[in-house]
Every structure is written in structure tokens, then in C-alpha cells.
Amino acid sequence: MRKTTLALAGLTLALAAAPAITLAADPNAASAEEVVTKVHEAVQYLNDKGLAGFSDFNNNKDARWVWKDSYVFIYSCRDNVMIAHPLRPDLVGKPILQMKDDKDHLLFQDMCKAGANKDGGWVEYWWPKPGEAKASRKISFVHSAEVSFKPDIQVGAGIYDDKMSVEDLNKLAAQAKQLKKDAP
């Protein structure tokens, strides 16, 4: 527990110190730091809880996995299925790999590649903010999770932002991973 706490504190310092990244100006908007922290917490939660943990992420707008304008979602690339989505229960159980955003981009194919990276990764696409119909630029951090006998599970959450670059965010994710590894 102490190692995790120190790693999260290091992540906070790394994200706060990065000149290209600013915390969300809107107090109702999730920050990149919050997204990375929540995804890592969700990965650990699923590692600990196993398959039974999936239900805790579904259709529960008041759960710890939904905050500000963001939420944690879970999917399987190998099985081509959305496993959990707290705000869009209509997506649960549906195929994901052919799903396109408003710019005709196969977003989950990129997420599956980024999430397979040992440090996870950020993916840009267009998706409606909660409660809105029109799509906005969204950048999600995705990371793999070992859940029971399903080695291909990935966890994601995102921010709605039109300024941050995927490259800068990926550098921060790698720095956060290194800080977590270096923590005593």
C-alpha cells in the first residue's frame, strides 16, 4: 500500500511539473492526472477482485469510477466486446473493433494497440461528453489488466480537451510508470 501511495504521489508531481500539461481549468472537467490515477486504481481493483469486479463498473453513475465529466470503461480486444460502461449500458456486450467515432475513425483498434503497451497509452478520438449529443475531442488513457483467466482486458478513461497532445500525455504516462517502479 505504501509503495502505491508513493507512486501516486510521484505521478502527481510528474504531471504537475510537466510544462505542456495543465490541470483542467474547468472544475467539472477531469484532468489527465485524475484519469491516469483512476485507470491504475481500476486495473488494481480488477486484479484483486477478478471477474466479479466487472459489475461494479456497469450502469452506476454514482460509483467511484464516475467523476466530473469522466468515467472508467472496460473492454476485451480478443473477445471484441465492451464489458463495462457506466453511462452507456447499451454498449455493454456489443462488438467494439468496428466501432467508429464521428470522424469515421476505428477508435477501439487504436485503443487495443495502446493498451497492449506495457505502460498503457493515450488515444485521441471524437466522443460526446456525458449528457451531450455532439461529439468533442476526447483523449483516453488505456491500460491492460490481468483479470482471472482473461489476459486481454483493458481499462480506459478519458479527458475532453482540444489542446493536449497524445505524445506529451504518453511521455507522462511513461514517467509515471517509472516513478511507480522507482518508489521504495
Domain limits for position 43: 2-182
Measured CA to CA, the distance from residue 120 to residue 169 in angstroms comes to 11
Instruction: Give the number of domains in the chain.
Output: 1
- Which tens digits make up the pLDDT trace of 64-87? 899 999 999 999 999 999 999 999
List the strands of the sheet with 73-76, edge to edge: 81-84, 73-76, 150-160, 135-147, 121-128
DSSP state of 21: -
Residue 51's CATH number: 3.30.450.20
User: Above pLDDT 90, what percent of the chain?
Assistant: 60
- Which tens digits make up the pLDDT trace of 15-61? 444 434 444 468 889 999 899 999 999 999 999 999 999 999 986 77
Query: Would you give the end-to-end CA distance of the chain in angstroms?
Result: 11
Picking from 32, 34, 38, 74, the residue whose alpha carbon sits closest to that of residue 56 is 74
